[in-house]
Amino acid sequence: MTAPAAPAIRGVDDVIAPGYRAIAHMRRGNDVDVYDAWSEERNSRCVIKELRSDRRAHKRARARLRAEGRLLLALQHPHIVRAYELVVRPDPVLVLETLQGETVSHLISGRTRRLEASEVAHLGLHLCSAISYIHRRGYLHIDLKPSNLIAECGQVKVIDFNLARQPGRARRGIGTPRYLAPEQALARRIGPPADLWGIGVVLYEGLTGSPAFPAGVRAALDDAPAGVWPPNGGISSLRRVPGQFAQTVEACLERNPADRPDIDELTQVLTRFASG
């Protein structure tokens, strides 16, 4: 049986929406295609997220992209990607600023030496600043991971708010399996501590160069001996890091959401170590 053809990708100079032309296809997600594009109004490049051609009739995918666009247009923060415009008809198209940096996942994997603890603390401060802001606006990100962070000229910006929701409307079990908090993986109630877990897994990977839970936290919960957490021996078994720093990052990865620090507590510790 012949496999269905992959959805078409726009070519150079194809019109994506009025005033926006494709330069190059950047990546493809489950629902969207992301393009490097040209904005005629701004006379500059931009990034465009649009629904894949095979997902344009999918109501939930359309609603998610519209919701992401409306949220980003309402957010104004130096460590959150900026949205320029949301085109809603005939199909939703989200226009974002172009970021010239690299993802934190690429930054971690592309180095021959691991990031300095002060660099990871600096990254964490920017991340805490952004997440604290969206929490005050009544939203959770719930998909924090190194590939959703862009490092640019010493600044970190959070991208991809496709799953961002208000706490009571956050769908359980969604997210990237390797980075899910236990309450997400177990389809339990999700609140701000889920984003503290997300910050923790980013900082853990920044310090050690490896994901905290490569097979996902559900497998770790099943395999960990009673009373042993994290199951891999923790940060100090992988590299030399100031004890309070390692302990605070690991505290973000506590199984019980109530046992994790809040963002203000985490920020205080990171501030101590960001100066080196």
Catalytic center residues: 143
Collapsing DSSP to helix, strand or coil, 182 comes out as: helix
- Spatial strand order of the sheet with 32-39 comes to 15-17, 20-28, 32-39, 44-51, 93-96, 83-87
Q: And the tokens for 66?
A: 């519209």
DSSP 80: B
CA dihedral of residues 252, 254, 258, 264 (deg, nearest 10): -10
Q: And the tokens for 167?
A: 């706490």
C-alpha–C-alpha distance, residues 161 and 80, integer Å: 10
DSSP 22: E
C-alpha–C-alpha distance, residues 64 and 43, integer Å: 28
- Dihedral (CA of 71, 76, 190, 228) sign: positive
Q: And the tokens for 6?
A: 């992959």
Q: Is 3 exposed, middle or buried (0-12, 13-18, 19+ CB in 10 A)?
A: exposed
DSSP 43: T
Q: Any residues with CB less than 8 A from the CB of 88 and at least 6 apart, and which?
A: 66
Q: And the tokens for 175?
A: 């997210």
